[in-house]
Structure 1
């Protein structure tokens, strides 16, 4: 009976040591700090209000560019009495940045639509990941969810084993086993109660979706696309519209007002382009500034293992500790009924007064 108690205490101590070594060896303190830095940086962009505004802004941009190409340019060409390709060539001559933008719009906008769509689709996963381990605790607390139980289990396992060998009674080792059972049960219940299994799965989906975005190549492409759109917008306002007004022999304010009235989506887009592009530019620059942070956060527990394994590295040891200590306690208490814990049990008794 005592042998099983010794084995249980040894295994509990080893599991405690493993729970201490794992987060430190995996670099969890730095990686979980990276998760907090990442969620703090992007939390404003993933609120329901921000996602809805981004959806509206992107719709404004898409509708403006679609109407510009499908209706506005052909209409202006007709007013000027020239073919549409000739008008576009003229705009490209007077404002090369506008010509470049018009040429690249068919490839630029799908990329921005994809980025905005990914953010929209992953907003719920982001908010779940942001709640690891709980809504009120930072992600850096995850490290201590391993360290603290690990230290307690190492102490009670090693301490119970020591007293089991040197002590004449099993009270201390019994208390240690009971404490281990409580800690193990707490690990299991805590893991299930906080919902981190579902949260880490959501986090895994989010990281998978954004990996192509948080790269040097992804950032550079988005940065260049915004630069093209920004220069095109400036060129439209400062060069193309004045040139078209001169071609049609109209004052610039009159031409601009007529343009906004006849083509309202273009008018609305031109009025809001600066704000919209500034907003997307801030998002893209935030991505560029957090590429290394994303990479660290995405490596929990390591590059080859998904983050969804993390709860099981608490749940498994917790269940093992609870079972080991529980079985040891059952054996110990049930064994006492037949006197098996008495080292002299079963020895023949000498008759009273018998000669030695």
Structure 2
């Protein structure tokens, strides 16, 4: 019975990852982790926050100080100035009208990234920091193949040569050892804690990695990029001409008088390019994220996966180990049988005559 259980557990460990599509799903995990590893690093998150703050300060100074000052020079209040610019420069007008809604959404995205940075890095070490997530499939397949072979061999020799073969005993010993390796390995590498971190990360990013989430971010970024491009190529040259200066002279004057605006204008191409790459990475990894988020199934949290190894491992230790115990056994594992009578073996019954 113990050997039959070993065989069944071995077959189960082979069938589960293949039937569940684990190779494709774990490849999805690797795709997402490889793409966002730099952005989710401590340095990457620090850069994202600094870039976002630079944009926020630039836009705040543009709306709160620069535009009112420019309007005052031509006798307009801030609202009239914004309407004037919007009528002449459509993308700048659209951007100024939407930044109060757009920037909080990007702030939320960066905040979620910061909150999930540690969880991402812990999930990135499944199964270990030196192995890709696709190796998880082989954590099931390799023990499954070994257990299937030893379980089948043990059963074969236990029926063919009952009580006269050491193969069943060796097979049970291998099963106990394999169970111990599975349990200890799962605990030592903290697969339970890592998958719990992965589950929190999936929960947090699930709204982001959707077609709706990507399209919203893409539209927001297009508005910001359109506004930035038109400011650099049309608005500043127009204002510079009005002031009798070159665009370079006018930009230098703005930077001197409005430092947050000047810093933002100088860094805006790099910042928007970086966020553009991040948004496109989200769009390219929607399907990979769905695959990763469906481990082991769409309705089952990924934190249960280590128990799909732990429970068989514990079962192997208990059942195969119990079968190896020498309780009630002697002569190589053959169960001892009580004598048919109280007469010692080889003695004649009392009162019987010896043979001639």
The TM-score by the shorter chain falls in which range? over 0.9
Once residues 299 and 305 of structure 2 are traced to their aligned partners in structure 1, the CA distance between those partners, rounded to angstroms, is 13
Determine the C-alpha separation between the residues in 1 that align with 2:120 and 2:332: 59
Q: Which of the numbers 304, 327, 343 marks the counterpart of 1:334?
A: 327
| Shift in alpha-carbon separation, 1:115–1:336, aligned structure 2, 3 A | same
The alpha carbon displacement at 1:305 in A equals: 0.6
Task: Tell me if the contact between 1:132 and 1:139 (Cα under 8 Å) persists in the aligned partners.
Answer: yes
Asked whether the 8 Å contact 1:35–1:297 carries over to 2, the reply is: yes
Partner residue in 2 for 1:233: 228
* Correspondent of 1:85 among 79, 82, 93: 79
Alpha-carbon offset, residue 244 of structure 1: 3.0
Confirm or deny: 8 A CA contact 1:188 1:319 kept in the other structure: yes
The match for 1:295 among 290, 294, 304 is 290
2:126 matched residue in structure 1:
132
Tell me by how many angstroms 1:347 deviates.
Answer: 3.6
In 1, Cα distance between equivalents of 2:55 and 2:287 = 31
- In structure 2, list runs of 5 or more residues that go unmatched: none
Residue 52 of structure 1, aligned match among 27, 31, 46: 46
Offset, 1:354: 5.8
Of 228, 250, 261, the residue aligned with 1:266 is 261
Q: How does 1:160-239 map to 2 (within 5 A)?
A: 160-167=154-161, 168-239=163-234
CA deviation after TM superposition for structure 1 residue 255, in Å: 2.9
Question: Structure 1 residues 306-315 or 30-39, which shifts more?
Answer: 30-39
Q: Give the whole-Å Cα distance in 1 for the aligned partners of 2:263 and 2:251.
A: 12
By how many angstroms is 1:158 displaced?
A: 2.3
- Once the two structures are superposed, residues 80-126 of structure 1 have per-residue CA deviations (whole angstroms, 9 ceiling, x without a partner) of 22211111111112210000000000110011111111111111111
Q: CA deviation at 1:35?
A: 1.2
CA change 1:339–1:298 in 2 (3 A) is closer
Higher helix share: 1
The equivalent residue for 1:61 is: 55
Give 1:241 shift: 2.2
TM-score, length basis structure 1? 0.92
Deviation for aligned residue 1:128? 1.0
Residue 281 (str. 1) matches residue 276 (str. 2): yes
1:118 and 2:117 matched: no
- The count of aligned residue pairs is 348
Distance in 1 of aligned mates of 2:84 and 2:259:
23
Counterpart for residue 95 of structure 2:
101
**SS of equivalent to 2:125:** coil
Which residue of structure 2 aligns with residue 3 of structure 1? Answer: none
Give, in whole Å, the separation in 2 of the partners of 1:213 and 1:296: 15
Partner of 1:346: 339
Residue 65 (structure 2) pairs with residue 71 (structure 1): yes
TM-score normalised according to structure 2 size: 0.92
- C-alpha separation in 2, matches of 1:48 and 1:57: 14
Tell whether the 8 Å contact from 1:80 to 1:247 is kept in structure 2 after alignment: no
Instruction: Measure the CA separation in 2 of the matches of 1:253 and 1:337.
Output: 98
Cα contact 2:330–2:336 (8 A) shared by 1: no
Write the mapping of 1:143-162 to structure 2, written as runs, cut at 5 A.
Answer: 143-162=137-156
Distance 1:34 1:74 in 2: 50
User: Hey, what does 2:24 align to over in structure 1?
Assistant: 30
Alignment CA distance shift 1:339-1:60 (3 Å): closer
Contact conserved, 1:94 with 1:239, CA < 8 A, in 2?
Answer: no
Let me know the Cα RMSD of the aligned residues. 2.1
In structure 2, relative to structure 1, the CA distance for the partners of 1:201 and 1:98 (3 Å cut) is same
